[in-house]
Structure 1
Amino acid sequence: MPGTSPPARRRRRAEPIDKHVAKNGTVTYRFQVDIGTKPDGTRNRQQSTYRTLAEARREYRRITTEVARGTYAALTEITVEEACDQWLADRRRIRRNSLERCRQDLKPVRRRLGNKKLAQLTKKDGDALVEWMLSEGRRSPRQPRPDSMASQVAALIALHPDGISTAELTAQFGRKVHHSLASLVQAGRVSRPRRAVYVLTPPPVTAAAPGGVKPVTVRSTLSTFAMMVQSYVDQGVLPRNVIALVDRPADVITDHDEDETNAKSWTMSEVEAFRAAIAGERLAACWLMSCYGMRRSEVLGARWRRLDGTALRVRRGRVVIGTETEENLPKSRRSRRDLPPPPDLAAALRALKTRQKAECLARGESWSDDRLIAVHEDGSPVRPEWYSGEFQRIRARAGLRRIPLKGLRNTSVSLMLASAIPVHIVAAWHGHDPAMSLSIYSDAHPADLQAAGAALFGADGERRARQVGKL
């Protein structure tokens, strides 16, 4: 029609990104991209959602470019449970105990988020996981599965009101019973009224509901969870690692904690009191090896053939993996070392070897230097959890401050450094990096701090103090 202008043509968007506003006001940006064809010949369209327009544009350009090149990997459709299984199965270059630790870390993730699609994970899911673990993430240790060994052991103990010995339990269930006994004692279902005898503890009137776990447990789970998610990001089947954005919970400091020190080791007088307490113990040599800073795995993996007149060769270690123990290579290359045993340790090792030979002869067995040093009287290997538990029992009888077994290793490092032994020698003795000696294992005691303060200005400080006193 004359005098009228043609309708304006609608401009085509350069990038088909749509803005979406949710009911709660949250703004996101979406786009769809053809990433190929399905098995039935139809188009395979993938929808992606991002928090910002800039992020959506960046990912749209990346995806379309990779699709054009034929290098694009579509977003994974597996669940978190399946992702955990696949990631654990692909970790072939780590030690079994490290793999078991990763498996334990991911258990809360499986329980809380296992059925969720991995590609649909959000930071909100990670935050909810943290809150759940801190408030109710602990399974009640008082309610094991009825078919578990712990339940069977508790049922047998219940049939003996006056107590049942460890030997009887071992005859019934084998050496694995020690792991179940340790968990039952920790849960308060079984008590140990006297040495090697167990009785059932009456259940409380009202069972407490499962509570939360400690922040350090949550941090460990988040670290492993983030590692798992990051592996899929690196493969190109996830756009980003949302779990890495989750804040790690800090330890809660109470008024009681403000009056406590952060000590992780003993003083010289305390370790000497412990050495006196183990003088009559059958495994005194093993406890001395721990006092001299050897790892628990190294003590329990030591064999007589690796001990000669000049050195104890650290070559293997025994670690706990679930309900089993495994002997493998030391923790690191630095851990392979030859330690000349001090006189007291050398004497204790000779006495233990003589005693074990006599025990072996009494059982009618032939002696071999390939035997482990840390064994029970019946020749069975000492389990790691028993060794840690026995340390706490000896410590309690001696009236000493509670520290974990690895605190003996911290004590050894701290006392060597306080004795002005060069840090590289301290590190070589303990089988780790010198930086580890200073940053992780060393501990400053009150006496060390007092000596440091007194030595700061030396005699000049004392002279000034006397002059101030005269004013």
Structure 2
Amino acid sequence: MGEPIKKIQLKNGDVRYRFVVDIGADPTTGRRRQLTRTYDSKKEARAEYSRIRHETDDGTLVAPAKITVSDWLDTWLKSATIDVEKGTAANYADALLPVRERLGDRQLQQLDEEHIDGLVSWMLTSGRKRGGKVGTGLGVRSVELTLGRLRSALNVAVRRKLVVRNVAQYTKIPREARRRAAAAKAKRIPWNADEVKTFVAATRADRLHVLMLLSLLGMRPAEVCGLRWAADVDLEAKTIRVENTRTIVEGEVEEKGPKSEKGKRTLPLPGPVVTALKALKARQADEKLAAGSAYVASGYVLVDEQGMPWKTDKLRRETYKLMATAKVRKVRPYDARHACLTYLATSGVPDVIVSAWAGHADLSFTKRVYIHPNVEHLQDAADQLDALLG
């Protein structure tokens, strides 16, 4: 083999040292790849030539590539979402939107830790594009999701030898941001028993009364929207089957089963809910007669006066209107689920039953996320200690 380092002379008379080295076949095209490098000294050229040859033989060489961050995210998403549901795939893509906006045009191999730190800082201060005031900061949870997806994408890039290391691996969300997020979460308190009773009483005459009751049974909004008269509601047995959800994915309605097998459950209905369901069914029969041929027999429990099924965004808007009319504290519709499970857990219902009612596979998750004891609940503990210490 001849001398790999060639001495060259530039037009201005300067001397440089150049080499061309094979680095194996392109993993996607199979074509032969070569690198050309030029250095000021022969010593530098020899050292770099030896390094490249060693890493090529060892299978650790990361060859230069002009792929951008957005290009790589496109590639990664195709493989990462092959076996996931449409909604999950949409969540993956949404989580990476801030990365595309902030770093998408940058070459993948030019990314460094400062870029990722800057991305996190921008997201926390001014990265919001929807779901609130544009230009304000996103929540810590949103930033965590973005970092998680980006780390996964970069791990695959490392494995495919597109980058040397995962520059997002050790990025942290500032402690102060986490502290503020925890404080905001602590302020998000679901209704107590008195607030639930006030809301139920105030909405009793409303057409949506029974749908509010179903939410207060701990059903998710998507489960309420997906409830069907024939398949899921048994007024004779006084039960409902939770087996269908109706959600919005990328602007389109998607129907699917619950998140897990445990999510598929049959719930016995309290008397007031049975009565309200019967009243709603009779009312919908009258609405069908009134609408005539314009009525859409969709078969869902939650429909408008023309029989058209609702989506979760409409359920959310109408729920907020009812809260304002009832003059109760505004909470997220999903917090009705928290209120239900907290009430059951603090009323002596065994933990395993509360978890089964919620449709959770993990008992500890139910207790950790959905149970919110308040001062009134703690008073029960104080009363028990009275007997011990008195």
Post-superposition Cα deviations, 1:172-208, rounded to whole Å, max 9, x if no partner, equal xxxxxxxxxxx8xx77xxxxxxxxxxxxxxxxxxxxx
Stretches of structure 2 that go unaligned for 5 or more consecutive residues are 1-19, 39-49
1:261–1:218 distance in 2 versus 1, CA, 3 Å: closer
Residue 442 of structure 1 corresponds to 371
Task: Indicate the residue corresponding to 1:307 in structure 2.
Answer: 233
Residues 102/362 of structure 1: CA separation in 2 closer, same or farther (3 Å cut): same
1:137 corresponds to: 127
Aligned match of 1:408: 336
Q: Which amino acid is the alignment partner of residue 366 of structure 2?
A: S
The amino acid that maps onto 1:36 is G
What SS is found at the alignment partner of 1:396? helix
Deviation, structure 1 residue 263: 4.6
Counterpart amino acid of 2:73? C
3-state SS in 1 of match to 2:300: coil
> Which secondary structure does the structure 2 equivalent of 1:299 belong to?
helix
- After superposition, the Cα gap between the structure-2 partners of 1:135 and 1:318, relative to the gap in structure 1 and judged at 3 Å, is same
The CA deviation at 1:368 is 9.3
Runs of 5+ in structure 1 lacking a partner? 1-31, 48-56, 142-182, 188-208, 463-471
1:452 paired to 2:377: no
- Taking the TM superposition and a 5 Å limit, the aligned residue runs for 1:186-197 are none
- Return the match for 1:224 from 137, 149, 163: 149
In the TM superposition, 1:27-426 aligns within 5 A as 34-36=22-24, 43-44=34-35, 64-66=57-59, 77-90=66-79, 91-139=81-129, 210-250=135-175, 251=177, 261-305=186-230, 306-308=232-234, 309-310=236-237, 311-365=239-293, 371-426=299-354
Question: In the alignment, residue 233 of structure 2 is paired with which amino acid?
Answer: L
> In 2, are the aligned partners of 1:36 and 1:45 still within 8 Å (CA)?
no
Q: Mark the CA change 1:123 to 1:366 in structure 2 (over 3 Å): closer, same or farther.
A: same
Distance 1:448 1:112 in 2: 47
Secondary structure of the residue aligned to 2:292 is: coil
TM-score by length of 2: 0.79
* 8 Å Cα contact 2:295-2:307 kept in structure 1: no
* Deviation at residue 129 of structure 1 after TM alignment: 0.8
CA distance in 2, matches of 1:215, 1:445: 25
Contact persistence 1:218–1:249 (CA under 8 A): no
Distance 1:299 1:115, change over 3 A: same
Q: Is the 8 A contact 1:414 1:444 kept in 2?
A: yes
In 1, are the aligned partners of 2:242 and 2:264 still within 8 Å (CA)? yes
Task: Give the conservation status (yes or no) of the 8 Å contact 2:190–2:336.
Answer: yes
Retained in 2: the 8 A contact 1:357–1:367?
A: no
Contact 1:226–1:244 (CA under 8 A) maintained in structure 2: yes
Alpha carbons of 1:368 and 1:261: their partners in 2 closer, same or farther (altered >3 Å)?
closer
Retained in 1: the 8 A contact 2:23–2:53? Answer: no
Deviations 1:383-426, CA, capped at 9 Å, x for gaps: 21111122122122222222211111011111101011111111
8 Å Cα contact 1:317/1:330 also seen in 2: yes
For 1:375 and 1:136, how far apart are their aligned partners in 2?
A: 38
CA distances 1:425-457 after superposition (whole Å, capped 9, x unpaired): 1111110121121111110111112222332x3
* SS of residue in 2 equivalent to 1:372: coil
Q: Give, as a single letter, the amino acid of the residue that structure 2 aligns with 1:442.
A: I
CA distance in 1, matches of 2:143, 2:196: 33
Matched residues in 1 for 2:224 and 2:52: separation? 54
CA distance in 1, matches of 2:366, 2:344: 10
**Number of residue equivalences:** 349
CA contact (8 A) 1:263 1:443 kept: no
Q: CA deviation at 1:34?
A: 4.8
Is the Cα–Cα contact under 8 Å of residues 304 and 371 in structure 1 kept in the other structure?
yes
* CA–CA separation in structure 1 for the residues paired with 2:51 and 2:195: 62
